[in-house]
Amino acid sequence: MNKIFYPKLALTNLKKNADTYVPYILTCIGSIIAFYTMISFYGNKGLDEMPGSINLKTILFLGTIVIGIFSTIFLFYTNSFLIKRRKKELGLYSILGMEKKHIARVLFYETVVVTIVSLTLGLLGGILIGKLLYLLLLKLLHFTTPIQFYIDGRGLLITAGIFLAIFFLTLLTNFLQVKMANPINLLKGGEQGEKEPKSSWIVTLFGIISLGIGYGIALTVKSPIEAILLFFVAVIFVIIGTYALFTSGSIALLKVLKKNKSFYYQSRNFISVSGMIYRMKQNAVGLANICILSTMVLVTISTTVSLYVGQENMMRDQYHFDMLFVGENTGNDEALVDESIQKTAEQTGVNPIDQINLRLGNLTAFLEGDHFMPDLVAKEDKDTNYYTTKTDVWLIPLEDYNKMSDTATALNENEVMIFSVGDNYNQKTMTFGDRSFSVKENLQTFPLNNKKTELVGKTCYIIVKDEGVIADIQNNLYPDNTSKSLLFGKFFNLEGNDETKLAFSENVFQQVEGINPDIDKASYYVSLTEWYSIFGGFLFLGVFLGTLFMMATVLIIYFKQISEGYEDRDRFEIMQKVGMDKAEVKKTIGKQILMVFFLPLAGATIHVAFAFRVMAKMLAAFRLTDTGLILICTIVVTLIYALIYALVYWWTAKAYYKLVK
Amino acid sequence: MSLLEVKSLQKIYTTRFGGNQVQALSNVSFSVENGEYLAIMGESGSGKTTLLNILASLDKPTGGEVFLDGNNIVKIKDSEISAFRRDNLGFVFQDFNLLDTFSIQDNIFLPLVLSQKPYEEMNKRLKPLSKKLGIDEILAKYPYEISGGQKQRTAVARALITNPKLILADEPTGALDSKAAMNLLKIFSEINEAGQTILMVTHSIAAASHAKRVLFIKDGEIYNQIYRGSMNNDEMYQKISMTLTVLATGGVKGE
């Protein structure tokens, strides 16, 4: 009988605590599903065949790690909540004569049940939902080739292993809790005297400053590179500020209200203010967690959705032409490339149109005033600073320029025209070594590129009289450099359907690779496919993690409501005895709960509003510069999130009122 | 006219599915005069808590009437009952029922704040009261920081601050040590001397021996009553314990 007794007791306990254990088990199942899905995608060989699969796999791998860490923290959090709730019950067992080892045995069987249920359902769910999500991922990646989805045995094993370890660790912490406590403590565990929360002005001030710095960084970021570098700094400041203000600032504020006697001693404020002080003390950290998780959800989903929606436009900005080739103007490379384009065009039925062929010279330099200084940085010293300050100079003979832009401009030996990407070139003259030119015209449009600011460094196109001047400039700037050849450039668009355009591009790429691997080549369609895999991967991960964080938020809110409910029940009764009517009590408490739970959402919305500029700048790093689009995506995502949040609140508030009634 | 008049009060509890009926009060009638100090005694299950809950307007009787100062509290509308309770009755409970979210001062202020009294007036009432009850030093503290006796004196202050017509006390000494209990009973006697009507439900003979009159309840009916008259506390104590013994051994009603 002893053998069955403990498992039976464990089962009964779980059933009796279904209110809290069902959400806990659901959390476990959710985490397992999430983890397995990620790891099985990571291990999926089918995805390797996709262009850009390395990027995608990196994203998935990071996703797996994030989910792993997150699950661990979150399961520990919920478990500690559960065990705290149950201290009284365990204390009772102890008083009824169960030894600690017996209680430990019950806890062990409970964990075994939870583990078996979670792992079975989680892994099964992972396999099913994984398959569904896999199809979704392929759709997002614009990857149509049907790839066999398979059950990832290694993934199952890893998932099972990791979660077994997590469950084992939670069991150990529970053992420790029971071991350290004596029965009286266990009995009173749920109702230890609450100290008047201390608010420290220093912490509050620190929080305000921290938040101010975070927001300040977010608002003053100038370049995309800066945005990426400083974003995490800002995030850390904002997180510190959020925690400090939620824990200390809120209480400090309430205490100020309390000091104002004519405000505080109003029946409407009296109970709310003092009630809020206590709620904030108990919930501040949880609420700050919710606030930060919510901000993360909003930022991740908004940016990934923006990227995904905006990617075709941003690719267009980057690729002015569908295809381009730039190579050394020696031998017969150019003729061979032409031949291969011609041949492939005939085979695939894709027509190259708007073709521009030209000669051009290329050099990198540093622009100081009107002086182009030679780039003498050694290869190993080329750091971020180098790439952001250098200028890419393309030198084009007047004849070719006139041909491609259909103009008849004339230049003399010492005159140039310039098209500068981004900001205009503001000098009247320019100098390369000993050679000076006067700037005849600052072009505002140019057939080969658009005016939008470059992400990294600067690019300018300088039109000179002829090829002789190009050689002269190169010689003046780099007298010792031997390879100062002229280049050929080919720019053209494609006509045909999208799939054959991609096939054409890949086909020509392969042939050009065979002609001379040094020839630079680019294709809008090849890149688009690669970027789809990256942004599709980002979007997938963003939404996936977003959902996971949201699930966590929902559960934190739920557990909070439950624990509030238990504590408020007594308070509720006392207030009625002292002469407050039911409706009034319900209204006051309802108002408090509303305030407490919508505070994080308000905080998250403010964070996102301040983060918007950084988000836009960071997205500019991916060449997404359409601020309007980003704004719309962010607002839509925020609204949807707020709606879900409100639904969750409504659902948990019902559970709460059930408890206090 | 009496301050409180209870006429043939009856309360029958029906179990949730309508099966068994339990008669908690069968026929209770008594009255309390202004300035009286009445103790109601009885064993567990005798119906004294039910009686108190009805007097406190926390529960409705099945039959009978209760008049407080001429108002039938059984007939008061639900929406007005809280305000009525707040303005006319003061409560002292066994387990203090202080809110741990409030300081001692704020706990005492609670009923006044609910009645929307201005702060100056609340403060004016608090000063002498807290001094009298010996809690003027701990007004800024919180319930978990003070002793049981202090908690109960806080509860008394909370009950008295509204200047209620009647103080209802439910086992006020039940959770106190003997020293704190004696202290509290002394306070009760003092405020009664000052004219406050008190109705106390208790198990404790020591507590009841402070009252001017003791009512005994058994099986939902008034069984007996003792008037103090000229007796001192000790004599009263003797008398009460004798009555209880008779009660327990099944004496005849009205003896």
> DSSP string covering A26-66, please?
HHHHHHHHHHHHHHHHHT-SGGGGSTTHHHHHHHHHHHHHH
Mean model confidence pLDDT for chain A: 82
Share of chain B above pLDDT 70, in %: 96
Query: pLDDT at residue A309 above 70?
Result: yes
% of chain B surpassing 90 pLDDT: 17
Q: A462 and A395 in contact (C-beta within 8 Å)?
A: yes
- Highest mean pLDDT (candidates A80-94, A568-582, B96-110): B96-110
Q: Say how many C-beta atoms besides its own lie within 10 A of residue B222's C-beta.
A: 22
Q: What confidence tier does A45 reach under pLDDT thresholds 50, 70, 90?
A: confident
- Please enumerate in sequence order all residues whose Cβ is within 8 A of that of A652, keeping only pairs 6 or more positions apart, or say none: A557, A558, A560, A561, A562
Mean pLDDT, residues B112-128 taken together: 88
ipTM entry: 0.75
The pLDDT of A305-326, averaged and rounded, is 82
Mutation for testing the B interface, residue in A265, A571, A585, A587 having most B CBs under 10 Å: A265
Query: A288 vs A567, which has greater pLDDT?
Result: A288
Is the pLDDT assigned to residue A345 strictly greater than 50?
A: yes
Please name the residues between 176 and 235 in chain B that touch chain A, using a CB distance below 8 Å: none
Rg (CA), chain A: 33
Q: CA angle, corner A365, sides to A359 and A370, nearest 5?
A: 100
The pLDDT of residue B255 is 43
DSSP 8-state symbol, A453: P
Distances in Å between the Cα of B220 and the Cα atoms of B55, B61, B178, B187, B223 are: 15, 13, 29, 30, 9
**What are A645's two structure tokens?**
């949040």
Encode pLDDT of A504-540 as tens digits: 888 888 888 888 888 888 888 888 887 777 788 778 8
With a cut of 90, say whether residue B171 has pLDDT above it: no
List CB contacts (< 8 A) between A274 and chain B.
Answer: 99, 101-102, 106
Backbone angles phi, psi at A227, to 5 degrees: -60, -45
B92 pLDDT above the threshold of 80: yes
CA distance A608 to chain B (A): 34
Terminal CA-CA length for chain A? 40
Of A63, A4, A9, nearest to A38 by C-alpha is A63
Q: Where are the beta strands (DSSP E) in chain B?
A: 4-14, 21-32, 37-41, 63-68, 71-72, 89-92, 166-170, 197-202, 213-218, 221-227
Each residue of A393-431: pLDDT tens digit? 888 888 888 888 888 888 888 888 888 887 888 888 888
From the list A520, A523, A535, A533, the residue with the least C-alpha distance to A498 is: A523
User: How far apart, in Å, are the Cα atoms of A493 and each of A115, A448, B203?
Assistant: 59, 12, 99
Residue pLDDT, tens place only, A145-176 = 555 667 778 889 999 999 999 999 999 988 88
Q: Are A56 and A141 in contact (CB under 8 A)?
A: yes
Within A221-356, where are the H helices?
A: 224-244, 250-259, 261-264, 267-318, 333-348
* Contacting A residues, span 147-206, partner chain B, CB-CB under 8 Å: 193-196
Mean pLDDT of chain B: 86
Among A13-22, A113-122, A189-198, B109-118, the range scoring the smallest mean pLDDT is: A189-198
- Residue A418, Cβ neighbours under 10 Å: how many? 21
Judged by CB atoms closer than 8 Å, whether chains meet at B119 and A576 is answered as no
Q: How many CA atoms lie within 13 A of A345 on its CB side?
A: 13
pLDDT digits (tens, 9 = 90+) for A195-210: 555 667 888 899 999 9
Backbone angles phi, psi at A223, to 5 degrees: -105, 160
Rounded distance, CA B225 to CA A399, Å? Answer: 125
Test B119 with A262 for CB contact under 8 angstroms: yes
* Measured distance CA(A645)–CA(A653) in Å, rounded: 12
3-state secondary structure of A442: strand
Rounded to a whole number, what is the distance in Å from the CA of A268 to chain B's nearest CA? 8
Which of A238-242, A266-270, A332-336, A440-444 shows the highest mean pLDDT? A238-242
The reported pLDDT for the residue numbered A631 is 93
The pLDDT, as a whole number, for residue A190 is 46
CA distance A496 to A352: 9
Q: What residues of chain A, 240 to 279, have a C-beta less than 8 Å from chain B?
A: 261-262, 265-267, 270, 274-275, 277-278
- Single-letter code of the amino acid located at A36: Y
Interval A223-229 mean pLDDT: 75
The region, left, alpha or beta by phi > 0 then psi within -120 to 50, assigned to residue A355 is beta
CA dist B187 and B176 (Å) reads: 14
Least confidently predicted of A45-49, A303-307, B71-75:
A45-49
Give one DSSP letter per residue of A174-235, joined into a string: HHHHHHH--HHHHHHGGGPPPPPPP--HHHHHHHHHHHHHHHHHHHH--SHHHHHHHHHHHH
3-state secondary structure of A285: helix
As a whole number of angstroms, the distance between CA A64 and CA A94 comes to 41
Q: Does A581 touch chain B (CB under 8 A)?
A: yes
Q: Do B110 and A262 touch (CB under 8 A)?
A: no
Structure tokens given for B181: 């209990």
**Bridge partners, A437 (sequence order):** A430
Among B93, B110, B126, most A C-beta atoms within 10 A, so best to mutate, is: B110
Q: Is the pTM of this model over 0.90?
A: no
Asked if A578 lies within 8 A of B101 by C-beta distance, the reply is: no
| pLDDT on residue B197 | 93
Angle subtended at Cα A157 by Cα A156 and Cα A158, rounded to the nearest 5 degrees: 95
CB-CB: which of B78, B85, B103 is closest to A579? B85
Percentage of residues in chain A having pLDDT higher than 90: 11
Distance CA B101, CA B106 (A): 9
CB atoms within 10 A of CB A542: 24
What mean pLDDT comes out for the span A34-60? 77
Task: Compute CA distances A297 → A140, A300, A551, whole Å.
Answer: 19, 5, 11
Tokens of A516: 């001379």
- Interchain contact, B119 vs A261, CB within 8 Å: yes
Q: Looking at residues A585-607, what average pLDDT do you find?
A: 84
